[in-house]
Amino acid sequence: MRATFGIVLAAGVAGAFGLSLVLHRGEPTDGAGEESVAGGRASPLVPEVSADPPRDAAPHPSIVARVEDLLAKNDLAGAARVLLSSDAAELKESAVRERAFRTADALVSAAAASTDKPATDARLDARRLYAALYGCTGASAEEAERAFLASTRLHQALVFGNGAPDSLVLRHKVQPGESVWALAKGQWKQRGVSVPAGFVLHVNGIADARRLRAGQTLRVPLEPIQVLVRKSRFELAVLLGGSPIERFTVAIGADASTPEGTFMVRDRIRNPDWYFRGKRIPFGDPQNIIGTRWIGLSGSAAADGIGIHGTTDDASIGKAASMGCVRMHNADVEKLFDWLDAGVAVEIRD
């Protein structure tokens, strides 16, 4: 199946992950994972959008030549269009990725001294390219690191700064008596906003919702939140519109027990009890290994009993040590907990 590089920034969760999600909620029950969650009807999964190219495939000379020609003419926007409209499998080729990095870096440099619309458009094109490079299954760890760092630098202007473009954020002037929680469920949701209130607070540098002031203008992201777990890198990344915002080191299941696929957040529990082999182990019990937060997953039978949670064993982070769940440091999972909501897409890949 063919897809474009721009898939990582397609509107909505379905575009970013190739998944049509159906929201389900449930209560914890006994199960096989580290924590148990009641099953529900699985969301339909769409097959992976691109297959690995043949091992003997040569780089696509037409794309490389076209991009080289456009870069020589200093037509950065044209080079970005060619790259973003190309087949997703082509980005797995090192020659194409090298041109994508060169184009994105040049776009950022060209926009560095300006805040006008052309400069913003250049930053947005660069963000799309870095997001595609970060999400590319063929990218090396070094390339993923480079794309992540470039993306986070761009987000300082495009999301976290006062100059954030209207295409990415909604601006809301706080009225007396308003709360972000009510706004997220009401007014903002009606305007198409899906990010949780906790992430809005993070974007605006507000550590405590009680410090919200009347007359304060909030930047409210318009793009969806997603989560990407890469088992081989022991990494969990939070994506905004497909572009990486933050990442955390995690532990995964021993003996390849963490399932791969696209799931969704089913439920979120503070100070969770642990349901294991028919036994309830309450929060605070020394035998309860779940830590301070539980984020349960659903979407297929493989997700039954699987979740993202804290741990009482910090030494296990960065290792294949769990019974299938994704473990995080408690401080990290507490931050993630506030950024997510039921229905958020979670992709787990090798």
CB 309 within 8 A of CB 333: yes
DSSP string, 227-278: EEEEGGGTEEEEEETTEEEEEEE-BEEGGG-S--EEEEEEEEEES--EEETT
Catalytic residue among 24, 172, 309, 329: 309
Q: Which among 3, 1, 9 is positioned nearest to 91, based on CA atoms?
A: 3
Cα separation, 223 vs 10, whole angstroms: 9
Residue 325 among the catalytic residues? yes
CA distance 221 to 166: 9
Q: State in Å, rounded, how far the first CA of the chain is from the last one.
A: 20
Provide CB contacts within 8 A for 211, sequence distance 6+.
Answer: none
Q: How far apart are CA 209 and CA 291, in angstroms?
A: 24
- For residue 167, CA distances in Å to 93, 121, 143, 201 come to 31, 10, 28, 19
Are 257 and 304 within 8 A, CB to CB?
no
Catalytic residue list contains 136? no
Residue 264: closest CA among 8, 5, 41: 41
CB-count burial class (<10 Å; 0-12, 13-18, 19+) for 136: buried
The residue from 136, 202, 325, 329 that is catalytic is 325
Q: What are the residue numbers of the active site?
A: 309, 325
